[in-house]
Amino acid sequence: MTNPLIRQSAMEYFKELVEGAVEHQHVESEELTRFYVVNLLAGFVQLDDSKTALDDEPLALRLGRALQSGGASQRAGLRQVGDASLFVSGFFSDSLKRKLVDLDYYIAVGGYAYEELSRQESLRVSRIFAELAEKFTAFVDVLNEVSERSGISSNHDLLRLYEKWIRTGSRRDGDLLVERGIVPNASITQRFLQ
């Protein structure tokens, strides 16, 4: 059983950080979507051993299994894939550079999972998932800022930041480059990164 005081503190803490990041980055979003992201962060902070949202099984396999199931099982599987993708790509994008799959993989898989959830008419929250799917990269940027402000990770390596901007086209990463005196060049593509 989780302590409601600790849970509330995490919710308040992340609400302030998410709202500030959304405002700072000018991300137009519904209040319920922001609340969902805050709740997601608070949930991952209190993740215990019985939960497997961040296990080592590849996301594509988890996505495939979710798509093959039906009903509540399918919705739960898609939500876990979307949530894990958003959290990992937002909070731990730098750690992905040492993996076989990179940030763009997490963005694609997570966005697809949320898009599939948004199509399920039985969900009253389909608008939340539609917005998360449509603005997945923007919400990754929001979580990047939350991560940096919370001190959980940092992104000071300009080359990695530039490479990440080239792969994702993230507006936030482009703004960070400009703040550091580097003007992103959209004509450079991934083929220059080897």
pLDDT of res. 160 = 67
- Same domain, yes or no, for 121 and 172? no
- Same domain, yes or no, for 101 and 171? no
In degrees, rounded to 5, the angle at the alpha carbon of residue 143 between the alpha carbons of residues 169 and 68 is: 80
pLDDT for 107 beyond 50: yes
Mean pLDDT of the chain: 79
Look up the pTM and report it: 0.72
Q: How far apart are CA 121 and CA 103, in angstroms?
A: 30
Q: Grade residue 5 by pLDDT with cuts at 50, 70 and 90.
A: very low
Cβ proximity of 182 and 158 under 8 Å: yes
Cβ proximity of 135 and 37 under 8 Å: no
- Same domain, yes or no, for 102 and 166? no
> Please, which residues have CB within 8 angstroms of residue 2's CB and are 6 or more apart in sequence?
46
- Same domain, yes or no, for 99 and 142? yes
- Same domain, yes or no, for 162 and 118? no
- Same domain, yes or no, for 146 and 160? no
State the total domains in the chain.
Answer: 2
pLDDT tens string 109-135: 999 999 999 998 666 789 999 999 999
- Same domain, yes or no, for 26 and 101? yes
pLDDT of res. 149 = 79
- Same domain, yes or no, for 33 and 43? yes
Buried b vs exposed e over 114-152: b needs ≥16 C-beta within 10 Å?
bbbbbeeeeeeeeebbbbbbebbbbbbbbbbbbbbeeee
- Same domain, yes or no, for 34 and 44? yes
In degrees, rounded to 5, the angle at the alpha carbon of residue 131 between the alpha carbons of residues 13 and 35 is: 20
Cβ proximity of 163 and 177 under 8 Å: no
Q: Which domain holds residue 42?
A: 4-154
What are the start-end ranges of the H helices in 119-191?
126-134, 136-150, 158-168, 171-179
- Same domain, yes or no, for 165 and 144? no
